[in-house]
Amino acid sequence: MQSLNNTKVKKQNIGHNTIVKCNDVNIGEGFCTVIAGPCAIENEKMAVQTAKEVEAKGAEIFRSSVFKPRTSPYSFQGYGTNGIEIFSSIRSETNLLLESEVLSCEHLEILYDHIDLVRIGSRNMDNYELLKEVGKTNKPVILKRGMSSTIEEFLLAAEYIISNGNERVILCERGIRTFETYTRNTLDILAIPALKELTHLPVIVDPSHSCGRRSLVPAASRAAIAAGADGIIIEVHPNPGSAISDGDQSINFEVFNNLMKDLYRLSEVMNKKWAVKNRKMTI
């Protein structure tokens, strides 16, 4: 295996950090970016309602998955290609950017013209053929750490994208699998400063998948920003108890509003800016 000392994602000089720009949203050192929305789009009404709410509270990018990898083949697999029509409704009602998970090269082709950022989920971190194809695009890529991956394996997965020409990579720590069973995964909080030390790439955190319990999501989010993360990707639902997918780890609008207040205060302490497209927020 190639050593971390030889990867192209290592810092070339002290103080250099990449800022990934997507339209007028900045993701990287000096900015705090919030990606929020349901685990999966369930219907148009829910998606638009959630998009409006998270935008009003300061989110800049909408989590809008229509393809879902699930452990059980009997679980909800996502809205599929029908969700593309819902993307249009969200764009007409908000100024949010859209990101969505792709599970295959076929999904990448289907969604490419309809989303602003591509997300590679934990299960596909080592799908190297998919990483190569994403590397041939010019869209920002959110790459999630595999649930059992070391930091070295995570960075080498990023290298598959970068070495194929796409340097707009955003690393996402989403918790790793350990012997602990109270939480869905274990948030590797030290991965944030470690990745900052080893790379120049932006680092965000998924507190929802790390915790698996909505009661712990706000604390994990605050901890991530305090540890130096450049943002979070968080699951928000109008009624988490009725969510088709991952309701246990989704927070409602009220909790999201209170969390955003905390993150605004934390961002001041951490000297991070918020690029919110000059929207009037209702916090």
Query: pLDDT band at 1, cuts 50/70/90?
Result: very low
Share the mean pLDDT of the chain.
Answer: 90
The structural domains of the chain, with segments of one domain joined by +, span: 17-269
Helical spans, DSSP H, in the chain: 44-56, 83-93, 105-111, 128-135, 151-162, 191-198, 207-211, 217-226, 253-269
Higher per-residue pLDDT: 170 or 282:
170
pLDDT at 8: 64
First to last CA, the chain: 48
Give 17-269's CATH code, choosing from 3.20.20.70, 3.30.960.10, 3.40.50.11540, 3.40.1160.10. Answer: 3.20.20.70
**Number of helical H runs and strand E runs in the chain:** 9, 10
pTM of the model: 0.92
- With beta carbons less than 8 A apart as the criterion, state whether 145 and 154 touch: yes
Is residue 221 scored above 60 in pLDDT?
yes
- With beta carbons less than 8 A apart as the criterion, state whether 176 and 149 touch: yes
Is residue 77 scored above 70 in pLDDT?
no
